[in-house]
Amino acid sequence: MFDLVIRRARLVDGLGGPARRADLGVRGERIAEIGDLKGAAARQVVDAGGLCLAPGIVDLHTHYDAQLTWDPTASPSPALGVTTVVMGNCGFGIAPCPPAAREAMIANLSVVEGMDLGALRAGVDWSFESFPEYLALLRRRGSYPNVAVLMGHSALRTAVMGAVAAERAEPTAAELAAMRRILAEGMAAGAIGFASSFSPNHIGWGGVPMPSTLASEAELGALLAVLGEAGRGVFQMAVGARMTVPKLEALAAATGRPMFLIATLAMHNEAMPGRALAMLDSCAAAQGRGHEVWVQVTCQPLAFDFTPANPYPFYSHDAFAGIRAAGAERLRAAYADGAFRERFRADLRAPKPGVMFFGRWDRVEVAIPARPENAGLEGRSIADIAAEQGQDPVDCYCDLALDEDLRTVVLARLLNVATEGVEPLLRHRAGVIALSDAGAHIVHMCDAGYALHFLGHWVRERGAMDLAEGVRRLTSHPAALYRIPDRGVLRPGAFADLLLFDPDRIGVTKPRRVRDLPGGAMRTLRDPLGVHGVWVNGTHVFDGADYVPHAHAPGHLLDTFAA
């Protein structure tokens, strides 16, 4: 007797093998048999009718750390085909967190990851302080997807050093020892690894740097040594200009652990078209020498929402050097200053490595005007508005910022926009498809459906790879690299994380805004196209239209990983 049989499916196994017609039977949480099960008894039977049945998506780059304390569904990811998420990326988790650091922790998250501060204040369940207590909370509450958690460098620094974590580059010997001890404790409790950021674009509340961005390479090396001593765990980092591929390779060699980087340098930029491929080639060369250095590549444009009161995509430009943490008054004065505007223009004429914005004002649009009389600007680019008004785009942006008292919501598509430049990155052997940022930047955008977009746009429409390889790159490939056992594959004995979909329709809708966050705060969602069902550990969690209610969510808190 099977608990579930899905009949007449077109099975795509997640390993790159050709699709084949077969039935799939589940007992308990695992796949029990694949083949002809026409006469088999089952408690539940689903007739796939020739639809594709694939492993659920393994999303390596999410930010559900806060949301999962109030929302076990991890919406919208399961509806978008995701059955396993990794969170804590870039070092921006919420554990460990002593009570005195709670407000600073979520205030920083609200800025660096574009979350609503009111929703965080109303929603986060703070019934934990240590990282092991946080994992215990997630186990008690349950989740629809399987969840793995990275320990975060910024969170660790804040918990140990307090407010000076964002001010002082060097911890004391005692503080560094405490960070190493707490990291070792978290790894023993079940963290999948460690995450950090050296990116100058990662700015927290009030424009202050996120704590890890101040850390030295020596501090980072001392913390990564904990993973080497444990003999397991992955490392993920937003690298910035001062953490290069050779330095990451040296860390991989010293610790024996795999390194996964994200970088603007690894995203396609029309102004420097060969740069991203060169970084991926450097990682491939490191792999050839036996050192795992991988690049998380995105199949979508890199986009950020912000206001002129906190224009963090611009902060890596020298013109902003003296006003990054100076507050609204200094920003207003700068925007009104002709000399500042000219410095900003000069930066854009000769951008330095590591910046995100290269002056493409045609890709910076007004998402939400602050003043009703400016409603007609919504959805229009700064370049378009500037041309209409006979202005330079920098002047147009600054004038609009002043006119709306720095409250204009702006959406910028910064990198990875040109299709012909992105495709080679997605096909590269040193890349792993990720960077959904699911759970973050939710006020005005939603990239959680990256995998459905990949299958619809890159596989079906562009033919960048066939369906079998496309599914592999979203499932068994990321699971294997992150040492997550028995996920991302359809085979007897593997966990029954399943996605049933129509390959001729798979994709995502346009964004829509809803007010369903704690306190009635707004977020942006996208809905699936062509998804007929999602199962996690054999339990139906999404039926193609809505989440399936469960008294206790079926996802596992993942705490055991391969070496």
In 307-378, the DSSP E strands lie at: 364-368
Instruction: State pLDDT tens for residues 209-247.
Output: 999 999 999 999 999 999 999 999 999 999 988 999 999
Q: What pLDDT is recorded for position 111?
A: 87
How far is it, in rounded angstroms, from Cα 389 to Cα 181? Answer: 59
DSSP 79-129: GGTEEEEEE-GGG----S--GGGHHHHHHHHHHHT---HHHHHHH------
Segment 399-424 mean pLDDT:
93
Those residues whose C-beta lies under 8 Å from the C-beta of residue 259, and which sit 6 or more positions away, are 234, 235, 237, 248, 249, 251, 252, 292, 293, 294
DSSP 159-206: HHHGGGGGT-SSPPHHHHHHHHHHHHHHHHHT--EEEEE--TT-B-GG
- pLDDT bracket for residue 425 (50, 70, 90): very high
Q: What pLDDT is recorded for position 208?
A: 86
Report the predicted TM-score, pTM, of the whole model to 2 decimal places.
0.92
Helical (H) or strand (E) element with 254: helix 245-255
Q: Which of 178-182, 240-244, 317-321 has the highest mean pLDDT?
A: 178-182
- pLDDT bracket for residue 443 (50, 70, 90): confident
Tell me the backbone φ, ψ of residue 247, rounded to 5 degrees: -70, -40
Instruction: State pLDDT tens for residues 181-204.
Output: 999 999 999 999 999 999 988 888
Segment 359-372 mean pLDDT:
94
pLDDT reading at 527 higher than 80 = yes
Q: What are the structural domains, with CATH classification, of the chain?
A: 59-304+416-485 (3.20.20.140), 318-412 (no CATH)
Q: Which of 442, 355, 352, 344 has the alpha carbon at shortest distance from 401?
A: 344
Q: What pLDDT is recorded for position 352?
A: 82
Q: Which of 84, 81, 94, 91 has the alpha carbon at shortest distance from 130?
A: 94
pLDDT reading at 267 higher than 70 = yes
Instruction: State pLDDT tens for residues 322-354.
Output: 887 567 899 999 999 999 999 999 999 998 877
Report the share of the chain in percent with pLDDT over 70.
99
Q: Which residues of 215-245 are buried (b: 16+ CB within 10 A; e: fewer)?
A: beeebbebbbbbbbebebbbbbbbbbbebbb
pLDDT reading at 362 higher than 80 = yes
In contact, 52 and 12? CB cutoff 8 Å: yes
Q: What pLDDT is recorded for position 55?
A: 99
- pLDDT bracket for residue 87 (50, 70, 90): very high
How far is it, in rounded angstroms, from Cα 534 to Cα 83? Answer: 8
Q: What pLDDT is recorded for position 323?
A: 83
Structure tokens at 469: 């390889």
Q: Which residues of 107-116 are buried (b: 16+ CB within 10 A; e: fewer)?
A: bbbbbbbbbb
pLDDT reading at 123 higher than 80 = yes
Paired residues of 415 in beta bridges: 302
Q: Which of 73, 77, 64 has the alpha carbon at shortest distance from 452?
A: 77
Instruction: State pLDDT tens for residues 458-478.
Output: 999 999 999 999 999 999 999
pLDDT reading at 303 higher than 90 = no
Lowest average pLDDT, out of 129-133, 263-267, 331-335, 516-520, goes to 263-267
Structure tokens at 543: 């039926």
Handedness of CA 184, 188, 193, 196 (dihedral sign): negative
In contact, 484 and 432? CB cutoff 8 Å: no
Residues in the chain: 563
- pLDDT bracket for residue 271 (50, 70, 90): confident
Q: What pLDDT is recorded for position 325?
A: 59
In contact, 368 and 378? CB cutoff 8 Å: yes
Segment 38-55 mean pLDDT:
96
The residue type found at 146 is N
